[in-house]
Structure 1
Amino acid sequence: MINLAQYIRGSRYDFDEWAANGCEGWSYKDILPYFLKAEDIHIEELKSSKYHNMGGPMAVSGSRVTQLADLYMKAGQELGYNITDYNGGEQIGFNRMQLNTRKGVRESSAVAYLGRAGKKDNLDIAVNSFVTKVGFQGKTATGVYYIRNNRKYFVSAKKEVILSAGSVNTPQLLMLSGIGPKEHLEEMNIPAVADLPVGDNLQDHQAYALYSKINRSIGLTPTLMTSFWTFIEYQLFGSGPLTTSGIEGSAFINTDNTRQGKTYPDLQTSIFSAIFNLSLLNLNKNIKKDYEAWGENVDGFSFVIINTHPKSRGTVRLRSNDPFDHPILDPRYLQEQTDVDDLIAGIRVWEKYIETPTMKGLGCNVDDMRKSFCLQHEFRSDAYWECMIRCLAVTGYHICCTCKMGALDDPTAVLDPSLRVKGIKGLRVVDLSAFPNVTVGNTNTPTVMLAEKAADLIRGMDSVTHIRQKLPDDV
């Protein structure tokens, strides 16, 4: 999985809500041991925490590269927030970054679980292979069809077929195999094996980035990132600017203080020590020109706001019954006005943040976000910020929940709490499409947790009893 490598588990309230809504066995107390099992903490001040663990397959390291990393925290304190461990007992506050890196190298799930030396007798990887559908005998999954080197194959399953193709391709494969909304399958001329709401409930985070120039040359500019000495530092010592994705600060915020300690935060912020690279975005030519006027090597920072639980819901649908046709994604971003309102609430936090003594000392100015393409509205009004959001908000690349798990009597659920496809024998889904609802923050880490727990469900064992006995008292 390619992402910004931020290690975040979500909120304890996410998982307690899953359990309360029918996902028995998925409360925070149930799943925290699996987060700990997977973790190998390398941050000194967190090694003694009962919320962290050493020795797991996936390394977690800090991301303190520039002076800005400490200034972000200082400004957060000036705003009235504590500095917290967002994977610990209290999430609300400003936080130092935790990244899935080991000695400056990304620790992806592929590296952590498959990249270690040694023969794996229980694993056979077929590369250059394209799965086209699941095979069935009645209501029992028997194996999968796939194409390799332009030849068709079928591999049979002795016990179960496990789909781990992600939130887009897993629902596509299920629908191609006859598991999905009956009317849609009939439209695609696919015989229905099971009428289930596959491809519904698509959820994703939306992100909106605010920018400010700073008056000191301490940011991660393109010149610094590509310099010879930066490269040498990384190669010799595994340290320096190339060990980070640019993100050096974080915060989790409740815009309504009466909600604190009762539910998950409304907003996540990621603070980059650079002006966010707009060339990554497919922007309107005039909008892009307004930003490029700053020049490429401007020192500054980006304050990216993410609404943690958007209300908008989308779908995944087949384009045709040809497995090589990409499915149709309709995420319906910002369809619900509350999602825009949440982002505007985050902007109001940013406006106060850059007015703190620390940020003002860096020369930060709200006027840096005065852009011509939205000035038909009064600058800094709700209407102005909504215009900016609708022009510039982007996906968080956290698409999930398209094959949600839930109680057996939940008509919106595709899977039961053991990740088995309802009404089908021998078929499970093990990826983030199984989430009932999107979690707080980046989704890589909770996906690893889900896979660790799924391994125990499949094997019919409990591999984390020893960890469960050591959980913090307040879990």
Structure 2
Amino acid sequence: MPATSPSEHFDYIIVGGGSAGCVLASRLSAKAANRVLLCEAGADISLDNVPPAILDSYPGTAYLNPDYIWPELQATTVRIDGVAGRARKYEQARILGGGSSINGQFFNRGAPSDYDAWEAHGARGWDWQSVLPIFKRMETDIDFHDALHGTDGPIRVRRIFPEQWSGHARAVAAALEAQGYDYLPDQNGEFRDGYFPIAISNFNERRVSVATAYLDAATRSLPNLTIRTGTEVASLVFDGTRCTGVVIQEGDKGKRVSGGEIIVSSGAIGSPALLLRSGIGPVAHLRDLGIDIVAGLPGVGRNLMEHPSIALASFIDDGARINDVTRHHIRVGARYSSKIGGAPQGDMLILGVTKTSWHAVGRRIGTLLNYVNNPFSKRGEVTLQSRDWRVRPNVALNLLDDERDLDRLVDGFQRMALLQASASMQAVTKDPFPASYSEKVRQVAMLSAKNRFITDVLAKLLDGPAPLRSFLMRRVVAGGPTLDELLTDDKALRAFIRSACVGVWHASCTCRMGAADDPLAVTDEFARVRGVAGLRVVDASIFPVVPGANTNAPTIMVAEKIADGLLSMQSDGGAIAAANVFSRNDP
């Protein structure tokens, strides 16, 4: 629908109310002179009536709720012999707060070397010593008060310590300890190999999202901040190569809104898609779709990175299942160094997942989840199917395009099998099987009354006689190759990993920061889109490489740091003050 003439003007228009967008809206509107518009395609979260599924410490009722994710968004995971596999549903948040409102609530930063790698990739001022003060400022760590942790930030962070772990989590920890892993009380503290309680953005058994922590009642009441939910941005508006506004969609109506600075914060899939629809990206791709070129940037949508993962599952005995201490399903994790292919220290992660889904069967199935913290594969891609803003983009994760990532998952599967075979795990689990997030599993995992009924019946049968349970586990729950078959056949194991490998919803790097001479860099160290004035991208898409962490905390850090730069530019000293924000600072 054609846009009307501009009827409104804002100093900042933020496209996307996710983990970055909410932070930017809060920080920029804190200065009364700034008129800020935040546009979010999904629903609002009323502070006085947050949906129980979003507040819940167990996240499965949020991230598998169709009301909170983008409909019809799919992704292919791997290429085999150069051919992409079947597309799968790829759940990405569509609600105020973005991923922070529906994710697993993990709040880990990654390793210092991850951010030193950002600097090495051309993102000046993003090394560990420069970003650590930002990480500290945005958190209130309930458990630790030292040089690595913050005490008065908006995001509250805690851990569930071993004395409160379920029997399954304790068994995983005992298996790790028997394999020589040291206990590290703080995942965000001592950066070495070992096992630890997971750091989570959760307080008093309630999720802490950016929608509630940054957009609190005082912020929402500011007269200079406008929040529009249920509002999708169809395209950007340009005057030559200057971005001057957006075309927003509210239902079937389109309207043009002008802005002094446009900040795209729609995530690593949504942000490149918006740039592409608006004429910024690879020239040949845009011309094929009949899109007028504003800026030819070949890196838009390229370099998509994710954390490839595999899992080994088992039936959990009744006494070892999730307990009443917390509904959070993952309490123990371990990082280790594979030493494969020149990988950095701590390049791999193992998680003990005590509950695999919201339903009754999920309460009886636990997994060991293994993923590559620092993948070598970075040839994923976001492209357009159509210039129509209503059509979701093509997403090809291409997770195992570098053989070294496959090698590390083969090694990781074998490590998980050793853990599963330990005395502690044998005592509380039965019938282990290689797990796959198949289409059947995904469909049953979606919230519905039908799925609740089916899984209630199956769960009762699983708790029955051992022979019946083993039969059902083999024929109904697992349905793929057995553990013994994979451990005795390297070719079969590699084939299984290629078919079962999935991402963990950590898409990033599709508008990456980089040096001026990097042909695939889309943004500079200030998040400005190259060759375009008045336009920035601020979210996980600008990561130069994906850090060895769940991406929520790094995304919040990125938004905080860019907000600092923008506010400094408005103060005395202008560009000099902004440059100081991006220089190396001692913590």
Partner residue in 1 for 2:498? 390
Show CA shifts across 1:311-354 (max 9, x none). 33211111111111111112223333322221111112212323
Q: Could you tell me whether the CA contact under 8 Å between 1:76 and 1:353 is conserved in 2?
A: yes
Show CA shifts across 1:390-427 (max 9, x none). 33322211111111110011101000111100111111
**2:515 aligned to 407, 423, 431, which one?**
407
**1:59 aligned to 156, 159, 164, which one?**
156
1:304 aligns with 2:369: yes
SS in 1 for 2:386: coil
Deviates more, 1:77-86 or 1:454-463: 454-463
TM-fit CA distance, 1:364: 6.0
Partner residue in 1 for 2:337? 254
TM-fit CA distance, 1:363: 5.3
Q: Could you tell me whether the CA contact under 8 Å between 1:68 and 1:219 is conserved in 2?
A: yes
Show CA shifts across 1:162-208 (max 9, x none). 11011111111111111100111111111111110211111111221
Instruction: Give the aligned residue type for 1:93.
Output: G
TM-fit CA distance, 1:271: 1.0
Q: Could you tell me whether the CA contact under 8 Å between 1:176 and 1:321 is conserved in 2?
A: yes
Instruction: Give the aligned residue type for 1:268.
Output: L
SS in 1 for 2:225: coil
Partner residue in 2 for 1:336? 402
Q: Distance between the aligned counterparts of 1:14 and 1:32, measured in 2? A: 12
Deviates more, 1:203-212 or 1:419-428: 203-212
Q: Distance between the aligned counterparts of 2:246 and 2:434, measured in 1? A: 54
Please give the residue correspondences for 1:222-241 in structure 2 after superposition, counting only pairs within 5 Å: 240-241=325-326
Partner residue in 2 for 1:440? 548
Instruction: Give the aligned residue type for 1:358.
Output: S
Q: Could you tell me whether the CA contact under 8 Å between 1:86 and 1:92 is conserved in 2?
A: no
**1:8 aligned to 108, 117, 131, which one?**
108
Show CA shifts across 1:42-64 (max 9, x none). 22xx2x33211111000112234
Instruction: Give the aligned residue type for 1:374.
Output: P
Partner residue in 1 for 2:274? 173
Q: Distance between the aligned counterparts of 1:356 and 1:376, measured in 2? A: 15
- Structure 2 gap segments, 5+ residues each: 1-98, 436-473, 569-576
Identity in percent: 31
Show CA shifts across 1:126-183 (max 9, x none). 222221111111121111111224322111112x111101111111111111110011
Partner residue in 2 for 1:358? 424
Q: CA, structure 1 residues 251+110, in 2 after alignment: closer, same or farther (shift >3 Å)?
A: same
1:201 aligns with 2:303: yes
Show CA shifts across 1:259-311 (max 9, x none). 7xx9342211221113x3499xxxxxxxxxxxxxxx93774531100112333
TM-score, length of structure 2 as denominator length: 0.68
**2:187 aligned to 77, 81, 86, which one?**
86
Q: Could you tell me whether the CA contact under 8 Å between 1:51 and 1:89 is conserved in 2?
A: no
SS in 2 for 1:125: strand
**1:29 aligned to 129, 144, 151, which one?**
129
1:270 aligns with 2:372: no
Q: CA, structure 1 residues 360+374, in 2 after alignment: closer, same or farther (shift >3 Å)?
A: closer
**1:345 aligned to 407, 411, 418, which one?**
411
Q: Could you tell me whether the CA contact under 8 Å between 1:213 and 1:368 is conserved in 2?
A: no
Instruction: Give the aligned residue type for 2:548.
Output: V
Q: Distance between the aligned counterparts of 2:426 and 2:404, measured in 1? A: 31
Deviates more, 1:452-461 or 1:414-423: 452-461
Cα RMSD, aligned residues only: 2.8
Instruction: Give the aligned residue type for 1:385.
Output: L
TM-fit CA distance, 1:31: 0.4
**2:248 aligned to 146, 150, 156, which one?**
146
TM-fit CA distance, 1:25: 0.2
Instruction: Give the aligned residue type for 1:408.
Output: A
Please give the residue correspondences for 1:120-159 in structure 2 after superposition, counting only pairs within 5 Å: 120-158=222-260
Q: CA, structure 1 residues 128+297, in 2 after alignment: closer, same or farther (shift >3 Å)?
A: closer
Partner residue in 1 for 2:263? 162
Q: Could you tell me whether the CA contact under 8 Å between 1:167 and 1:401 is conserved in 2?
A: yes
TM-score, length of structure 1 as denominator length: 0.83
Q: Distance between the aligned counterparts of 2:285 and 2:434, measured in 1? A: 48
Q: Distance between the aligned counterparts of 1:112 and 1:298, measured in 2? A: 30
TM-fit CA distance, 1:76: 2.0
Partner residue in 1 for 2:18? none
Q: Could you tell me whether the CA contact under 8 Å between 1:213 and 1:298 is conserved in 2?
A: no
Q: Could you tell me whether the CA contact under 8 Å between 1:37 and 1:464 is conserved in 2?
A: no
Q: Could you tell me whether the CA contact under 8 Å between 1:134 and 1:143 is conserved in 2?
A: yes
SS in 2 for 1:87: coil
Q: Distance between the aligned counterparts of 1:202 and 1:70, measured in 2? A: 36
SS in 2 for 1:296: helix
Q: CA, structure 1 residues 368+139, in 2 after alignment: closer, same or farther (shift >3 Å)?
A: closer
Show CA shifts across 1:58-93 (max 9, x none). 011223452444443333222111112221132421
Instruction: Give the aligned residue type for 1:61.
Output: R
1:18 aligns with 2:118: yes
Q: Could you tell me whether the CA contact under 8 Å between 1:374 and 1:387 is conserved in 2?
A: no
Instruction: Give the aligned residue type for 1:180.
Output: G
Q: Could you tell me whether the CA contact under 8 Å between 2:140 and 2:152 is conserved in 1?
A: yes
**2:198 aligned to 74, 97, 118, which one?**
97
Q: CA, structure 1 residues 298+203, in 2 after alignment: closer, same or farther (shift >3 Å)?
A: closer
Show CA shifts across 1:216-268 (max 9, x none). 61212xxx7xxxxx6xxxxxxxxx333x1x11111111022997xx9342211
Please give the residue correspondences for 1:106-117 in structure 2 after superposition, counting only pairs within 5 Å: 106-117=207-218
Q: Could you tell me whether the CA contact under 8 Å between 1:377 and 1:383 is conserved in 2?
A: no
Partner residue in 2 for 1:234? none
Number of positions where the alignment pairs a residue of Structure 1 with one of Structure 2: 428
Q: CA, structure 1 residues 169+377, in 2 after alignment: closer, same or farther (shift >3 Å)?
A: same
Q: Could you tell me whether the CA contact under 8 Å between 1:218 and 1:299 is conserved in 2?
A: no
SS in 2 for 1:189: coil
Q: Distance between the aligned counterparts of 1:59 and 1:199, measured in 2? A: 33
Q: Could you tell me whether the CA contact under 8 Å between 2:432 and 2:483 is conserved in 1?
A: no
